[in-house]
Structure 1
């Protein structure tokens, strides 16, 4: 007899064997017991979480020789035929290969006839979202008023592609991704049945790699048994999954958080020369930093059951001297770098630069510290704004975010006293997306008709806002009736260069007589008052 893969060998055959989908199994069992069956059901969710298996169990429950029953016997000829896929009254249709309206018309002709051997005719349509619009339309009438002996069960991973007219005619069940603990427990049971030695660390690796899919975890376990033999081995499973040893990721993270750039780059070079996929390493690193952030924010309870006491001790040591905001900035940097590495043909270059950015990222400065008068470079904030500027810049197109050496923001009182502040507030209230992007800014201030926003280095909002600043510039220009330029900067350590802060729009050109007097007296124009005429 040929080998049967684990995913098929251990496919659930009854409602009680289904893992993690109690909201579906209990509903169906109660519907059968109380004879309250609907004529159409829709199962939606990620791959490998039990949609088709549930549909087959439901078909057996309705057509079992002892049923309809909530507990199909799996012994009668009907149950065995459904398990083998040879029962005439249960038809599984692949929506991806039967997309045409002709296929649905054939189905409409078939539903008129009574079941050949069972009590119900069950039509299971997998990947139903692949049907064409014409096919869906042809199915509407039959789906709304089918014969009493017909039940439809649809399965899909992309429910948003199904027309609303179909959804409204079905009872919908959203299946859940399985937790790591649920998958690990089930894999442990399979290992006992297969007489394969296992340990929690090996099963955790497989469960985590499955990303909530039981079928994927069973396929990975098949591969692991083929590689390791009668005893699962953590290191071999790591190699199979393309993962670096946990200690390598831990050491790399510690070097970056402690500012040890040469050591971190040396470890990256070692990973590269040992043949690891840096794209996969980056993903693994993101997951580890995610765990560190959760640990710092909410304690060990946030990590779940998959972390051992030794791993927890290493993680707590790594974050002991690191502030939570700095961890969040590091995570954002790493997450964005991982996305870029995934698209790049030169992942090694980007991986090294990502490490440099992690090590030399600017530390987080809290709002109370900024308001207390200290910038990130340690310089005091100015007590009052500088003299009025006279140049009126024109609106600028979107451009890359400028990287300033350092800056000194205007005092808070001066910022709120600026005449254009009310206009800015009105514009942002009408554009909540821009308002949200400005929320994490370190500072924002007016300089003549230039509005400047300062972000911390690596802030993803800075890049997004830079692309959309033209929208804000246009809106401010319309409100003020004069061209406004919006500038985006990122602050970094370095020399202090305080900007000239303006408290109002530029003054109009003086009268020719006044200009001549100013030239003779070497005077400057301070204020222009306009008086009405009777």
Structure 2
């Protein structure tokens, strides 16, 4: 007999065997035991959490020869036929490949006939959101008032795409993403019954890599067993997943905490020798920073033993503000990796950005920076000196009066330098500015940063963007991002270039390049010659930009 993958071999056959979906199992069990079974159910959730499995168990419970029950016998001909996928009255439809109204019309016509073997004819429609609008409309009446012997079980990973008219006709159950601990427990049970040896660290790594999906986890488990020759070792699993050890993450964070650029790049070089997936490494870094912040700000948070060993000391060394900024950099760095010249340089640049924005780094880190060599030209910059204690944080418009001061703040760490519009754009990204605040930041440029006062220039026609409330919100978000209080001052004057104009120029250049590339394409030119085709510039979008 051919090998059966673990996800299929160990698919639950009873409600009691399901993992992590107790809320759904409880409701369906009560419905079956009381006989109050609705005619249409909708199961939603991410891939591999049990939507189709629950639907099959439910169909088996409805049709078991020993009576309708939440605990089907599993021994009768109908139960065995459902388990084997051969039960004639369980009609499974893949809506991704049967999307049209003709496919639904066939369902409607066949629904009127009585079931051949069981009590109920059960229609299981997977990925139901893929049906066309006309198919949904054709199904509505039957879905609302089906024959008494028909039950509909719908499953989808994207319920937002379902029409409200369908949602209103179904009982909806949202399936949860599984916790890593739940997935790890199921893996240990399966490996014990399969007589496969394993390291606990390997199972934990696979459970985290499953990302809440038990099916994905078991697929990774199959791959890991093959990779390790029948035994799971943590080193083999990490190599397979492209991850690194928690201790390696700790070494990176330790170098960042100490402001040691050489140690940081040495460790990055050693990690690169392991050929990891740098996006996954940045994800691990973000996870570690999240746990450090929990230890810092949540009383009583302990974490597991390995976490306490690696991250416990770092929680006491790092400023909470630095942890927040670095976490944002890790997320942005992961997103921007495809844009870097190569993924390793993108990873290293993310680490160096964290180092550059380390609170209190003005003295020690910059003295050790390779760029500060004797005789090297000094760029014209406005640097941020270590400021005295902030007496108040207010918003000042040129020629106006500052808002009421807030309560005195504690002495702040030195802030990073800002050297022009490129650095200003980096500040905007680091602070995650959006909405009205982002609009103000995108149309302003920094003039100076002296002490605690950041002076921004804004064109007079954009004065509408700079209300007092928006300015206060801007300075609060920027202050949180750089780890020190500041006061924003707005002056209205002509501005040559802003982040908004730079972005518009970049979009215009991308659009021109896309139109030029299309016009020069030999196939397009041939279509124009033969058929008189015309290019509509408004319909062209550069690669990666949505319409």
The verdict on a shared fold, with TM-score over 0.5 as the criterion, is: yes
Pick the aligned partner of 2:383 from 393, 405, 420.
405
Residues 357 and 502 of structure 1, relative CA distance in 2, 3 Å threshold: closer
Report the Cα distance in structure 2 between the residues aligned to 1:349 and 1:230, rounded to whole angstroms: 36
Report the Cα distance in structure 2 between the residues aligned to 1:344 and 1:122, rounded to whole angstroms: 51
Q: Secondary structure at the match of 1:69?
A: coil
Preserved CA contact (<8 Å) 1:101 1:135: yes
- Give the superposed CA RMSD: 3.8
Moved more, 41-50 or 328-337: 328-337
Residues 98 and 302 of structure 1, relative CA distance in 2, 3 Å threshold: farther
Preserved CA contact (<8 Å) 1:286 1:331: yes
Q: Secondary structure at the match of 2:69?
A: coil
Q: Which has the higher contact order (CA 8 A, sep 6+)?
A: 1
Q: Secondary structure at the match of 2:349?
A: helix
The number of equivalent residue pairs is 431
Report the Cα offset of residue 190 of structure 1: 0.4
Say whether 1:316 aligns with 2:312.
Answer: yes
Report the Cα offset of residue 363 of structure 1: 1.6
Preserved CA contact (<8 Å) 1:43 1:173: yes
Query: What does residue 340 of structure 2 align with?
Result: 344
Report the Cα offset of residue 301 of structure 1: 3.3
- Scaled by the length of structure 1, the TM-score of the pair is 0.72
Moved more, 455-464 or 254-263: 455-464
Query: What does residue 349 of structure 2 align with?
Result: 353
Residues 345 and 68 of structure 1, relative CA distance in 2, 3 Å threshold: farther
Residues 461 and 172 of structure 1, relative CA distance in 2, 3 Å threshold: same
Preserved CA contact (<8 Å) 1:93 1:124: yes
Preserved CA contact (<8 Å) 1:361 1:457: no
CA deviations over 1:12-70 (Å, ceiling 9, x no partner): 00111111111111111111111111110000001000000000000000011012111
Pick the aligned partner of 1:477 from 449, 460, 463.
463
Query: What does residue 460 of structure 1 align with?
Result: 431
Query: What does residue 215 of structure 1 align with?
Result: 215
Residues 411 and 232 of structure 1, relative CA distance in 2, 3 Å threshold: closer
Say whether 1:19 aligns with 2:22.
Answer: no
Query: What does residue 117 of structure 1 align with?
Result: 117
Residues 364 and 331 of structure 1, relative CA distance in 2, 3 Å threshold: farther
Preserved CA contact (<8 Å) 1:124 1:152: yes
Q: Which has the larger radius of gyration?
A: 1
Preserved CA contact (<8 Å) 1:49 1:177: yes
Query: What does residue 100 of structure 1 align with?
Result: 100
Report the Cα distance in structure 2 between the residues aligned to 1:300 and 1:342, rounded to whole angstroms: 39
Report the Cα distance in structure 2 between the residues aligned to 1:3 and 1:12, rounded to whole angstroms: 18
Task: Please give the residue correspondences for 1:150-189 in structure 2 after superposition, counting only pairs within 5 Å.
Answer: 150-189=150-189
Report the Cα distance in structure 2 between the residues aligned to 1:23 and 1:179, rounded to whole angstroms: 15
Preserved CA contact (<8 Å) 1:279 1:342: no
Preserved CA contact (<8 Å) 2:24 2:173: yes
Residues 36 and 458 of structure 1, relative CA distance in 2, 3 Å threshold: closer
Report the Cα offset of residue 477 of structure 1: 3.5
Report the Cα offset of residue 147 of structure 1: 0.5
Residues 65 and 40 of structure 1, relative CA distance in 2, 3 Å threshold: same
Report the Cα distance in structure 2 between the residues aligned to 1:224 and 1:164, rounded to whole angstroms: 43
Report the Cα distance in structure 2 between the residues aligned to 1:415 and 1:19, rounded to whole angstroms: 54
Say whether 1:326 aligns with 2:312.
Answer: no
Could you tell me which runs of 5 or more consecutive residues in structure 2 were left unpaired when the two chains were aligned: 364-379, 405-413, 416-423, 445-457, 480-485, 494-547
Task: Please give the residue correspondences for 1:183-262 in structure 2 after superposition, counting only pairs within 5 Å.
Answer: 183-262=183-262
Preserved CA contact (<8 Å) 2:439 2:465: no
Report the Cα distance in structure 2 between the residues aligned to 1:500 and 1:29, rounded to whole angstroms: 60
